[in-house]
Structure 1
Amino acid sequence: MALPVVAIIGRPNVGKSTLVNRLCRSRDAIVHDQPGVTRDRTYQEGYWADRTFKVVDTGGLVFNDDSEFLPEIREQAKLAMAEAAVAVVIVDGQQGLTAADESIAEWLRHQNCPVLLAVNKCESPDQGLAMAADFWTLGLGEPYPVSAIHGAGTGELLDKVISFLPASQELEGLEEPIQLAIIGRPNVGKSSILNSICGENRAIVSPIRGTTRDTIDTSIEREGKTWKLLDTAGIRRRRSVSYGPEFFGINRSFKAIERSDVCVLVIDAEEGVTEQDQRLAGRIEEDGRACVVAVNKWDLISKDSHTLPAMEKELRSKLYFLEWAPMLFISALTGQRVERIFPLAALAVEQHRRRVSTSVVNEVLKEALSWRTPPTTRGGRQGKVYYGTQVAVRPPSFTLFVNDPKLFGDTYRRYVERQIREGLGFEGSPLRLFWRGKQQRDAERDQSRAAER
């Protein structure tokens, strides 16, 4: 059962994202002293007393201006109101009542959602009530003085918020959602893919680079599973990024990779693989995430019967970090093959979590050694593989016990990894191979005995 939603509404720079972080006890919402930092709907989970709920942060509402992104921000706020059990409208107590606040109050009266009024920046308990009193004229009920920075008054506000929420949900036993992060450079179509999947304008789409700043969480059901989709900010080269909202958004994107179960790396079919795409591929492999490569804008490519295999070969030659990842050619604009992301992602997650018995691992190793024996040095020393075992999942990790790891060069190590993949699968998941020699085992045994004494 979905959690009830609490929508946070208000004009720019009144402290909405700061209050969201306070209510959810996090730092996930980007806070910066600049209007228009938040644009899309972003969700976090909060709890108070015996209630758990989702808090949706929205962009600053402006009704007398249709310049860059403002109409789209209003549409996102309207969608947030449509799904909310209660909305909290934030105003600035230090600045006082403004015409923009009155416009928002008028707009809210036409929305079918209960509304609470929070007067932010009331750090002084003595002056807070006096500052809040000015906002009775908005006709939105009792104004609650709060300080999003210091937390003053937020408890009283939350007491009122949960009175609008249904009784506590029974959440034990529910399967954890699969975290799927949509990763890529700016303007490769990440938000368009999210919108195509959701069947609505879940994220603002624009040809302007850097439109998405926050990581946008969306929960959906596919393949009999619950997925949490993480649409991330486009990641540019570090030297191209100045300190500010984009910097924070990119950091959120890297954190999304770290907390994801599977990444969808989006590549622009027209531009091909760039240096930055390669860096992102390396980051996904380095963090040990499962992955699906989605080549977007396939509808813009002139094609014949040889185009797809030729392009896949070219792309894979440059994305050598992810040679194990399935590749899908899609169009977010037309919806072509977008839904096929989920069966591929589900398989990648399954392989990422799969464990294989030691006996099966050693059967594969025995076969690999019979086809190609370990190298021999000029001095006549030959590498020997005694046995192997899987030691971890997410990603699948194997320890190979050998006579001396130095006798196994990179070429032979890659060969063994390829043989493990061919014999055991693990499509869509990176592998980790650890080579342990006799001296390492003896040293560990001596340390263990010393500790026992």
Structure 2
Amino acid sequence: MPLPVVAIIGRPNVGKSAIVNRLAKVQEAIVYDQPGVTRDRTYKPAFWSDRDFMIVDTGGLVFDDETEFLPLIREQAMMALSEACAAIFVVDGQEGLTEADRVLSDWLHRQHVPVVLAVNKCESLTQGYSQVSEFYELGWDTHAVSGIHGNGLAEALDDVLSHFPEKDEEVEEEEIRVAIIGRPNVGKSSLLNAIAGENRSIVSPISGTTRDAIDLKVERNGIKYRLVDTAGIRKKKYVQYGPEFFGINRAFKAIDRADVVLLVIDAVEGVTDQDQKLAGRILEEGRACIVVMNKWDAIEEKDTYTMLEHMKQVKARLHFTEWADVVFTSAVSGQRVEKIFDMIAPAAEQHRRRVSTSVINEILEDAVSWHTPPTMKGGKQGRIYYGTQVSSRPPSIALFVNSPDRFGDTYRRYIERKIRESLGFQGTPIRIFWRGKKTRELDRGANKAIKVKS
């Protein structure tokens, strides 16, 4: 059974995201003194008493305004309520009861979802009692709370837990974390919605629609995935401090936490300089990667060779991630969207893969026999003693040599190519560390260096 879901509901700027951060014990939801920062519904795991559950943060609800994203925010909030077993209705205790709170309360009374009222921004216990009193007329179980300090949240959560179903002891299986990364308006949110089969993220031609990182859990062929849609990442010089700045930071954190990153690129525009920088960031973080060329349906006059020509261009522009698979999709029509999962699972497996020391040394022996290490001026030649995998995620191999300075970039690329030819590691970067001879143990083992076959 899935975990119980608790929806956080309220009008804009009452502190919903601050409460989400406090309950989830993370600083992930963007908190900024500006209405409308949160737009999509975002899921965070939480724990209270003896229960695990999911918190859903939603955008601020306004019913008398149809501008920009507000109708779509209401749609996302209704979806959150439809799957919730309880809701926390957040109001601003410092501002007091407003007409917008009354309208929202009447709407919640018609939703048939148990509601606990949290009067937020009651940092002082003494003032909290007076701040809460005027909200009793709304007819909910009411608590004075502080999202900043955590005051009163324990009592509110006790009320929320009373509406949970019976505890399920099922243990969650390990899931593959997938981050969806790209420039603004390349179709990241549309791709997430195509995978989910619902409007999980708000899609708009307006740049910067997605701000927070949006989680979606799906299952394919018995494998569980957690996909994270992120804010579009523009060039740093165009980004101002505010919601977009925080959204981009969340995107970078999503890359760091992911097993596999989907780098979404606009197929019509091709690989841009910013796409190259994002691919470089993924490589730097050591994440597995799949390049998703989206909006393939918008390419006109395609023939048998069109995809091959685009593939060559992608490989040329992203030559430093040639190990990454490339798929041409259309989030609008759903073309090849499911094929992405055929690539994610193997890439995650290779990202976590471990190889025995004996296999690595067989590969090194073969590589050295075909191409001996370079000889420096003065007749000093590089020697590889042995190699061993030291970590995974990404696979990292340490090569112990007499002197790293005797191995130039050309020979180092040759060794990496031979390792990939033998072991694959498709979809994931690998790291190779060249370690010099520093201990007596290595000195004694020098005669065991990999010998060159004549």
TM-score higher than 0.5 here?
Answer: yes
SS of the equivalent of 2:270 reads: coil
In the alignment, what sits opposite 2:230?
232
Does the 8 A contact of 2:62 with 2:100 survive in 1? yes
Q: Does 1:95 align with 2:95?
A: yes
For residue 426 of structure 1, report the CA deviation from its aligned partner.
0.5
Q: Secondary structure at the match of 1:179?
A: strand
Contact map agreement 1:40 1:212 (CA 8 A) in 2: yes
What is the match of residue 300 of structure 1?
298
Alignment pair present for 1:21 and 2:17: no
Letter in 1 for 2:297: D
What is residue 169 of structure 2 aligned with on the other side?
Answer: 170
Query: Aligned AA for 1:136?
Result: Y
2:448 alignment partner in structure 1: none
In 2, are the aligned partners of 1:187 and 1:207 still within 8 Å (CA)? Answer: yes
1:10–1:91 CA contact under 8 A, matched in 2: yes
Question: What is the correspondence of 1:360-371 to structure 2 with a 5 Å cutoff?
Answer: 360-371=359-370
Equivalent AA in structure 2 for residue 193 of structure 1 = L
Residue 442 of structure 1 deviates from its aligned partner by 4.3
Whether the 8 Å contact between 1:82 and 1:112 is mirrored in structure 2 is no
Question: By how many angstroms is 1:311 displaced?
Answer: 0.8
* 1:380 Cα deviation from its structure 2 partner: 2.4
Distance 2:117 2:158 in 1: 13
In structure 2, C-alpha distance between the alignment counterparts of 1:126 and 1:403, rounded to whole Å: 71
Q: Is the 8 A contact 1:29 1:214 kept in 2?
A: yes
For residue 449 of structure 2, what is the aligned residue in structure 1?
Answer: none
SS in 2 for 1:87: strand
CA deviation after TM superposition for structure 1 residue 113, in Å:
1.3
- Percent same amino acid among aligned pairs? 62
Shift of 1:403: 2.2
Whether contact under 8 Å (2:390, 2:398) holds in the other structure is yes
CA distance in 2, matches of 1:443, 1:357: 21
Q: What is the Cα deviation at residue 322 of structure 1?
A: 1.1
Q: CA contact under 8 A between 2:115 and 2:141: conserved in structure 1?
A: no
The residue number in structure 2 matching 1:48 is 48
Distance 1:404 1:131 in 2: 71
- What is the identity, as a one-letter code, of the residue corresponding to 2:50? D
Paired positions, count: 443
Superposed counterparts of 1:321-360, under 5 Å: 321-360=320-359
Aligned to 1:223: 221
For residue 390 of structure 2, give the secondary structure of its aligned residue in structure 1: strand
Aligned mates of 1:444, 1:407 — CA distance in 2:
17
Partner of 2:276: 278
Distance (Å, rounded) in 2 between the aligned partners of 1:404 and 1:428: 31
Shift of 1:235: 0.9
1:397 aligns to what?
Answer: 396
Q: Which residues of 2 match residues 135-284 of structure 1 at below 5 A?
A: 135-139=135-139, 141-172=140-171, 174-284=172-282
Q: CA offset at residue 142 of structure 1?
A: 2.7
1:53 Cα offset (Å): 0.6
Alignment partner, residue 34 of structure 1 = 34
Q: Could you tell me how far 1:392 is from its partner in structure 2?
A: 1.3
Partner Cα distance (2:92, 2:396) in 1? 53
Summarize deviations over 1:283-318 as a string: whole Å, max 9, x none: 111111111111100111121111111111111111
The SS at the match of 2:338 is helix
Give the structure 2 partner of residue 119 of structure 1: 119
Spell out the pairing of 1:58-73 with structure 2 (5 A cutoff): 58-73=58-73
Q: Deviations over 1:350-403 (max 9, x none)?
A: 111111112211222222222222222243222222222222111111111222
Task: Tell me: CA distance 1:281–1:226, structure 2 relative to 1, closer, same or farther (3 Å).
Answer: same
Matched residue, 2:426? 427
Distance (whole Å) between structure 2 residues aligned to residue 194 and residue 398 of structure 1: 35
The 2-side partners of 1:238 and 1:382 are apart by 45
Deviation of the 1:444 alpha carbon: 8.9
In 2, Cα distance between the equivalents of 1:142 and 1:411? 70
CA distance change for structure 1 residues 445 and 366 in 2, over 3 Å: closer, same or farther? Answer: closer
Give the Cα–Cα distance (whole angstroms) in 2 for the partners of residues 17 and 133 of structure 1. 24
Whole-angstrom distance in 2 between the partners of 1:271 and 1:252: 25
Question: Which letter does structure 1 place at the counterpart of 2:269?
Answer: E
Give the 3-state SS of the residue equivalent to 1:338 in structure 2.
coil
How far apart, CA to CA, are the structure 2 residues paired with 1:376 and 1:153? 71
Contact 2:43 2:54 in 1 (8 A): yes
Residues 51 and 167 of structure 1 are in contact (CA less than 8 Å); yes or no, is this contact kept in structure 2? no
Letter in 1 for 2:341: F
Moved over 6 A (4+): 443-446
Question: 1:87 is matched by which residue type in structure 2?
Answer: A
Scaled by the length of structure 2, the TM-score of the pair is: 0.95
The equivalences for 1:67-86 within 5 A come to 67-86=67-86
Q: State the SS of the aligned residue for 1:380.
A: coil
Give SS of 2:134's match. helix
- Comparing 8-17 and 141-150, the one that deviates more: 141-150
Deviation at 1:126, TM superposition (A): 2.4
- What's the offset of the Cα at 1:56? 0.4
- Give the whole-Å Cα distance in 1 for the aligned partners of 2:71 and 2:440: 68
Q: How far apart are 1:138 and its partner, in Å?
A: 2.1
C-alpha displacement of 1:178: 1.0
- Contact 1:133-1:143 within 8 A present in 2 as well: no
Counterparts of 2:330 and 2:225, CA distance in 1: 21
CA distance 1:186–1:441, shift in 2 (3 Å): farther
